[in-house]
Amino acid sequence: LEVDINNKIAEIQPTMYGVFFEDINFAADGGLYAEMIKNRSFEFTVDPFLGWIQPNSDRHSFNNNSGIGSIVKYADNPGNTNFIRVKVNNDQGYQLINEGFRGMGIKEGESYNLYLSAAKHSGNISKINVQFIGENNVVLGETSVDVTSSDWTDYTAQITANKTLAKAKLKFTFEGTGEIDLDMISLFPVDTWKGREKGLRKDLVQLLYDLDPGFLRFPGGCIVEGRTLARRYQWKKTVGPIENREVLVNRWNTEFSHRLTPDYYQSFGLGFFEYFQLSEDLGAEPLPILSCGMACQFNSGELVPMDELDPYIQDAIDLIEFANGSIDTPWGKLRNEMGHSEPFNLKYIGVGNEQWGPDYIDRYKVFGQAIKAKYPDMIIVSGSGPFPDGDYFEYGMEELKKLNAEIIDEHYYRSPEWFRENATRYDSYDRKGPKIFAGEYAAQSVAIASPENKNNWECAFSEAAFITGLERNAEVVNLTSYAPLMAHEEGWQWTPDMIWFNNLQSYGTANYQVQKLFSTNRGTDLISVTSAGKDLTGQNELYASAVTDSGTNEVIVKVVNTSNQSQEVAINLKGKKVYKKGELIVLKSEHLEDENSFENPDKIVPVTAEIQNRGGKLSVELQPYSVSVFKFKIR
Ligand code: AHR
C-alpha cells in the first residue's frame, strides 16, 4: 500500500462522524431521559392509567374497598390535561404503584429524587409514604412526603435503594383518609449526566461522549414526520416547563412496530432545549430535522397544501431564533429562561425526513427560500427517499442538484454484502454536487428492520469497509451516522441498533466499536492510499483509507480485511519523515456471527499494540475479518 502523506485530497470535516438520535426503541423515555416513572402525568391516551397499578389488579382497579384513583381533567391546561384524584377509604390498604419502564433499575446505596405535585381535596390525608419494592413486595428503600396544602404544591423527597434490582417498582401509600390530587410524579437518579437534576442517564451519554461525535442529529427519523400530520414532532411543544409539554403517542407505538409497545409515548422531557444542551456537552454540532408538512409516506402520506405551509416554515424560522437569537427576541428569551443565555450556535437545519417525489421538492423549495431569506448562512439539509437506488431517489437527486441543494441526507439499510460492494458509491459522484450526509445506515443481517437482525461482526466490518469509501470521498461526504442509535432490551421495535441497554446496563455493539474507531481517528485531511496505483476498494477483500491529523501530527491508515484469511501487506508511508514507533489498533473477531452482549460486552473491542516502521516502510499481517488502524507521528 502506497500512502502519500503529501497528497492532500480534501479536508475531513469535523462533522464527518456523528450520531443520529431518534426516540425509537425506548431511546428517550425509558432510556436516555432518566425519568423512572412511566406516565408520570396520567396523559397516555389509550389508557391514562398505563404504567400504574392499583390494589388487587394487574393494571388498575376502578373499584376497590381500600380506595380508588380516578382521572380528572384540568379546566384549562392544553399541555397537561389530566391528574389523578386518589380516594383513600382505608389508609392501611390503598396502594398506587408505578411499574417503571419494564421495571425501574435501582442500585444499592444510590439515591433517587422524587418529585410530585399534590393538593388535598377532602378529608385528612397528611402523608404519602413512598417505597421501592421488589418481588413479593419486599421493601428496598423508603421515604415520605408530608402533604400540607389544599392548593397545588410541589414536593420533593429523596429515597436511597438498599439493593440493586433491574425491575423494582415504586409504591405509594397514604396516611389518613379522604381525597388527594396528584400529578407530575417523577423519580430520577441523583447521579445523572453532569449531575443535572431531572437529567439524562449517565452511562448512555458517556457512550455517546466516547464516540466524540461531530454532530447530533435529532429528533429522528420517522417521528419527525408523524404517521399523521397531527402527530408530527412539534419542537415548540417540547420546550418550556416540562409539566406543560404535551405528551404524544410515539410513532413507534404497538400498531406500527414489530413489538408490543402500547405504552410507548413521548413525554418530551427530553425536548429541543435538552437536545441542544446535549449537543453542546458532546462537542457536537446540533442538527435538528423538522417536519416539512408531509406525514410519513409509509403511513398516511398526509400533505399540507402548499398555501397552508406557513406555520411549518415559521417553526423552522423560530427554531433558529430559539437556538441562536439574542435573549431580547421572543424565542431567545425562552432559551435564556431555560438556563442558556448564550446562543447554541446552530449552523444546520434539516427539512423533512425520508420524503420523496415532487411533493417534497415543492415543499423543500419554499422552506429553503424562506430560511435563506432570513438566515443566509444557515446550511440546509434536504431529505431524499429511503431507497438509495430507486427511481424516486434519482429524481430527487436530480431536482435537488438543480436547486443547488447544499447537503442531501441519504439512508441505506442493506445487507452486509451491499455495504462491501458499495464502498465505491461516491467515487464518481459529481464533486460539485450537493454534499452527502449518510444520515442513517446499518447493515441488516437478515432483512431491513427484521426482528431477527443481529449486530454481528460481519455487519460491523462490512460497515467499516463501506466507511473507508465514505472517508475516501470526504470531499463530498461531509456527515455520516449509524441508525438507529439505541435500544432497550425489552422495549425495541427495530434491530439492529448501535447501543443496547436495559434498566441497569448498557454496551456498545461491534458496530459501535467500528464507529468509535473511525470517529476517534477521523483526522483532518484525506490523503491517498493505493495498491498498484488504485484505491483499495475490495481487491483481495481489502479496503483502505488514510488521513493525516494536523492537530496531533499523525498519519492514520485504516485497512479492513473482510476475508477469512490473514493477509500480508506492505505499507509504504512516503512524502514525510515518519517516527519509527507507532500504534496499531485492531478490532477483530473470529466468527461472522460474533456479537457483543450484556453478558460479554467486551467480546469485540479494539486492542492496541506498538508497531514500528523502517524509513516509512512496514510489513504487516492483517488478521482475518479485521479492521486495523495504523498511526505514526510525522514531522
Ligand atoms: O432508523 C429507523 C427508521 O428508519 C427511521 O425512523 C427512518 O428515518 C428510517 O426509515
Q: What is the pLDDT of residues 342-382, one digit of tens each?
A: 999 999 999 999 999 999 999 999 999 999 999 999 999 99
With helix as H, strand as E and coil as C, how does 173-199 read? EEECCEEEEEEEEEEEECCCHHHCCCC
Q: What was the pLDDT predicted at 56?
A: 54
In the predicted structure, residue 57 carries a pLDDT above the cut 60: no
Region 151-174: what's the mean pLDDT?
97
Q: What was the pLDDT predicted at 388?
A: 81
**Which residue's CA is the nearest one to ligand 1's atom 9?**
221
Coil vs helix vs strand at 366: helix
Write down the mean pLDDT value for the chain.
Answer: 95
Catalytically active residues, by annotation: 354
Q: What was the pLDDT predicted at 209?
A: 98
- Least confident range from 60-74, 290-304, 423-437: namely 60-74
- Give the chain's largest Cα–Cα span: 87
Region 462-485: what's the mean pLDDT?
98
State the complex-level ipTM: 0.99
Region 539-561: what's the mean pLDDT?
98
In the predicted structure, residue 266 carries a pLDDT above the cut 80: yes
One fold for both 2-12+525-634 and 52-189?
no
**Which residue's CA is the nearest one to ligand 1's atom 8?**
221
In the predicted structure, residue 110 carries a pLDDT above the cut 90: yes
In the predicted structure, residue 64 carries a pLDDT above the cut 80: no
111 beta partners: 160
In the predicted structure, residue 311 carries a pLDDT above the cut 80: yes
Confidence at 58, pLDDT banded by 50, 70, 90? very low
Exposed / middle / buried, residue 197 (Cβ in 10 Å: 0-12, 13-18, 19+): exposed
Region 476-489: what's the mean pLDDT?
98
In the predicted structure, residue 62 carries a pLDDT above the cut 60: no
Task: State how far the Cα of 442 lies from the Cα of 462, in Å rounded to an integer.
Answer: 10
Hey, which of 437, 494, 497 would you mutate to test ligand 1's pocket, going by the most ligand atoms within 8 Å of its Cβ? Answer: 494
Task: State how far the Cα of 133 lies from the Cα of 165, in Å rounded to an integer.
Answer: 10
- Least confident range from 388-397, 451-460, 485-494, 511-520: namely 388-397
Percent of the chain residues past pLDDT 70, beyond the cut? 97
Q: What was the pLDDT predicted at 55?
A: 62
Q: What was the pLDDT predicted at 90?
A: 78
**Residue closest to 289 by CA, chosen among 139, 160, 481:** 481
In the predicted structure, residue 589 carries a pLDDT above the cut 60: yes
Cell of 302: 398526509
Q: How far is the CA of 222 from the centre of ligand 1 (A)?
A: 5
**Which residue's CA is the nearest one to ligand 1's atom 4?**
221
The CATH code of the domain at 52-189 is: 2.60.120.260
**Which residue's CA is the nearest one to ligand 1's atom 5?**
221
Residues 511-525 have pLDDT tens digits of 999 999 999 999 999
Which ligand 1 atom is nearest residue 223's CA? Answer: 6
Q: How far is the CA of 307 from the centre of ligand 1 (A)?
A: 28
Q: How far is the CA of 386 from the centre of ligand 1 (A)?
A: 9
Confidence at 53, pLDDT banded by 50, 70, 90? confident
> Which residue is associated with the grid cell 442538527?
287
Domain ranges of the chain: 2-12+525-634, 52-189
Confidence at 612, pLDDT banded by 50, 70, 90? very high
Which ligand 1 atom is nearest residue 298's CA? Answer: 10
**Dihedral (C-alpha) 321, 322, 328, 334: value to the nearest 10 degrees?**
160
Q: How far is the CA of 442 from the centre of ligand 1 (A)?
A: 11
Assign domain 2-12+525-634 to its CATH superfamily.
Golgi alpha-mannosidase II (2.60.40.1180)
Region 54-71: what's the mean pLDDT?
67
Q: What was the pLDDT predicted at 258?
A: 62
| Residues with a CB atom less than 6 Å from ligand 1 | 22, 24, 220-222, 353-354, 386, 411, 440, 483-484, 494
